[in-house]
């Protein structure tokens, strides 16, 4: 069974005042507060979600 790659994302900005779709995307990534980290599978769907909220999150390498 192949090992699934993961991406660690950290929320760096607040979702207050953002459109509901962006807030929902953050929740879908497992984030809801500044400084929270979430490890998600490296799939095209998750990459697309990260791209939609790229101004609110940071991708951390090496974790």
pLDDT in tens, 11-43: 999 999 999 999 999 999 999 999 999 999 999
Confidence (pTM): 0.88
pLDDT at 53: 97
- For residue 28 the two structure tokens come to 């879908």
The pLDDT value given to residue 46: 96
Cβ(41)–Cβ(4) below 8 Å: yes
- The CATH number linked to 45 is 3.30.1390.20
The number of folded domains in the chain is 1
Residue 2 has pLDDT above 80, yes or no: no
Residue 63 reports pLDDT greater than 60: no
Distance of alpha carbon 57 from alpha carbon 52, whole angstroms:
10
1 in a domain, yes or no? no
Q: Which domain does 41 fall in, by range?
A: 6-60
Which pLDDT score, from 0 to 100, does residue 9 have?
98
């Amino acid at each position: 069974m192949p090992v699934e790659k993961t991406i660690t994302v950290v929320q760096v900005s607040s979702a207050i005042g953002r459109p509901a779709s962006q807030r929902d995307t953050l929740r879908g990534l497992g984030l809801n507060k500044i400084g929270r980290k979430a490890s998600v599978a490296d799939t095209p769907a998750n990459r697309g979600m990260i791209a939609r909220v790229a101004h609110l999150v940071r991708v951390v390498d090496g974790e």
